[in-house]
Structure 1
């Protein structure tokens, strides 16, 4: 009996959403159906969606209680204990051998197979084909990854009861507009757990704004057309500001005399100025001459526990596709491997503590009490949190790592 009780306790502690699981699900389901009828349908109708389209979309849809970040009516929003999205986990784990090598090898094959479409898109947008390939590979395995969810189930559930309900409700209306216009082939309205569609994994609103016809058939088909997928990714980056005269960034060595707290897109200076501080390319090669007077930003995704980079404004264009530093870094790195044959980063990913998001959030609140700007106590170690940790460590005479650790929690909770 004791073993069974302990097992049950462990299961309950592992559930990521706490109070969300204590609600009357049947009652919430009824509220969801009322919400669809009384709130979503009038909004959809106003956006040009016909009743048959709406009814077909929701004919078999029920709430999906397995999705992350749910906040059912009557429950309190809490941070999930762990973050499911890989982009916000341990930095080194994101660059595992299988993911990097798989995206690279398949990317090289795709570069040959779709050379014409890639060259055409690069000429039109200025976005390098290798970058488009790396995004395509990361998002859907070059169209090979099975997309698991019904988009209306995902967006309906998250639009009704998630921490970002308003955002997902808008995406739900956009998905209905896509269905109404007949953009997607039959049975193709499948999505990720967040509601992203097709081979480039566009959110529905991004499809409506940025999907492009790359093969000239008059349709933007990001589900079946590789040329349309390539054109859409390139167009998305171009319209978010990709500068064809710049690279995305360079791995660098950062001497101990340069503070890791200098990280961030609001602390940029020219590469020439970074060089004057003692920062050099990790490869030992010189920076390209045309880059040296351009602005660059220090980026250390694991603080002193991993590789360091000087990144250009194009790096932050990549982050418009996915807000994670690790995602943008993966795309740039894999793209370079595809085209230039570069090897692994020269800087090693050091070991970092496995931490709960709630623990990181507690540390962030401790830093906020000390007047450090962490960008919000969200439990994620973004650049503002990393450099605030570094500044706090410098101010208190500690070893400066610019990355959270379990030992910091007690100190910052005081």
Structure 2
């Protein structure tokens, strides 16, 4: 016969951590409410946004097992800059040609790069994420691994709601809290999202004009150089060794030409003074790039080298 206390021990042991986690999360939300009030968020928004929240286990799972990027550059390139994505990019570019022209004129940014980032981030607005932004950010801020960063983003997200830019039910994004078609973090929304269609809201979820113009504004504010290219794949000179390549120095493009670098078709590089650096893809094998200032601006949007190279290559193909 099993003693009676054995029946009770199992559920009590399981229940204790759950109760502790709930109490911890509730105490965390109390602190967030105070921070939000001090940041000027209205009591009504705080009440509506934070009532009944619980941590999302799936968010914690995704945060703890982010991929290490084991794909080779060539595998990543062929998967990301696929023919399907190129064709979708061309179609979306054609559909929005007048809008993109207006955005390019206002922000002095290449519309092709705007479309490429749009395609990379959300497949041209078709996959903006299914997590509630407030819930996801609250989960990550409570978890503790990067609590200060995500707490700041959570307060910024509450301010976005308080500004009436999006309905609470529509405020969806990635598991990490990146929002809408451009996948802006809330703090970037505060600083860089724009109301391009003039309706009084910066709606990066459902307004294509606001979403694409916000990408353009982001690039412009981070130093985009009008009418300069991002870079190009090149042929390295005979005897070139990637392991010993100098990737930190910048020099005029004509100097790289004198060192024996050529266009991919074998032709000479322009005798240009544009500032240029050598870029090697992460996990690459043979492909080599010469890139300019605008390549670094793309990396301000999303830092991985392979991401920025894919954006550049896709932008060359969409229009």
Q: Which range, TM-score by smaller chain?
A: 0.7 to 0.9
Of 239, 249, 252, which aligns to 2:234?
A: 252
Does structure 1 residue 139 correspond to structure 2 residue 121?
Answer: yes
Of 316, 337, 344, which aligns to 2:317?
A: 337
- 1:36 is matched with 29
Q: Compared with structure 1, are the counterparts of its residues 247 and 178 closer, same or farther at alpha carbon in structure 2 (3 Å cutoff)?
A: same
- 1:168 is matched with 150
Q: Which runs of 5+ in 2 are unaligned?
A: 1-15
- 1:280 is matched with 262
The structure, 1 or 2, with the larger RCO (C-alpha pairs under 8 Å, 6+ apart) is 2
- 2:9 is matched with none
Q: Compared with structure 1, are the counterparts of its residues 69 and 239 closer, same or farther at alpha carbon in structure 2 (3 Å cutoff)?
A: farther
Report if aligned partners of 1:255, 1:279 keep a CA contact under 8 Å in 2. Answer: yes
- 1:226 is matched with 208
In structure 2, C-alpha distance between the alignment counterparts of 1:186 and 1:25, rounded to whole Å: 28
In structure 1, C-alpha distance between the alignment counterparts of 2:68 and 2:203, rounded to whole Å: 27
Q: Compared with structure 1, are the counterparts of its residues 244 and 301 closer, same or farther at alpha carbon in structure 2 (3 Å cutoff)?
A: same
**What is the deviation of 1:254?**
1.9
**What is the deviation of 1:99?**
5.2
Q: Which runs of 5+ in 1 are unaligned?
A: 1-22, 72-79, 340-414
In structure 2, C-alpha distance between the alignment counterparts of 1:99 and 1:272, rounded to whole Å: 29
Report if aligned partners of 2:161, 2:167 keep a CA contact under 8 Å in 1. Answer: no
Q: Secondary structure, in 3 states, of the residue corresponding to 2:177?
A: coil
**Residues 314-333 of structure 1 correspond to what in structure 2 (within 5 A)?**
314-333=294-313
**Residues 200-219 of structure 1 correspond to what in structure 2 (within 5 A)?**
200-219=182-201
Of 251, 258, 262, which aligns to 2:245?
A: 262
Report if aligned partners of 1:183, 1:221 keep a CA contact under 8 Å in 2. Answer: yes
- 2:43 is matched with 51
Report if aligned partners of 2:219, 2:297 keep a CA contact under 8 Å in 1. Answer: yes
Q: Compared with structure 1, are the counterparts of its residues 54 and 313 closer, same or farther at alpha carbon in structure 2 (3 Å cutoff)?
A: same
With structure 1 as the length reference, what TM-score do the two structures score? 0.68
**What is the deviation of 1:186?**
4.5
Report if aligned partners of 1:117, 1:214 keep a CA contact under 8 Å in 2. Answer: no
Q: Secondary structure, in 3 states, of the residue corresponding to 2:57?
A: coil
Report if aligned partners of 1:69, 1:163 keep a CA contact under 8 Å in 2. Answer: no
Aligned residues: 303
Of 79, 84, 88, which aligns to 2:67?
A: 84
Does structure 1 residue 195 correspond to structure 2 residue 187?
Answer: no
Moved more, 169-178 or 145-154: 145-154
In structure 1, C-alpha distance between the alignment counterparts of 2:314 and 2:19, rounded to whole Å: 46
Of 86, 89, 92, which aligns to 1:104?
A: 86
Q: Compared with structure 1, are the counterparts of its residues 51 and 107 closer, same or farther at alpha carbon in structure 2 (3 Å cutoff)?
A: same
Q: Secondary structure, in 3 states, of the residue corresponding to 1:298?
A: strand
Query: C-alpha deviations, 1:328-381, integer Å up to 9, x for none?
Result: 111111110112xxxxxxxxxxxxxxxxxxxxxxxxxxxxxxxxxxxxxxxxxx
In structure 1, C-alpha distance between the alignment counterparts of 2:303 and 2:80, rounded to whole Å: 23
Does structure 1 residue 122 correspond to structure 2 residue 115?
Answer: no
Does structure 1 residue 313 correspond to structure 2 residue 296?
Answer: no
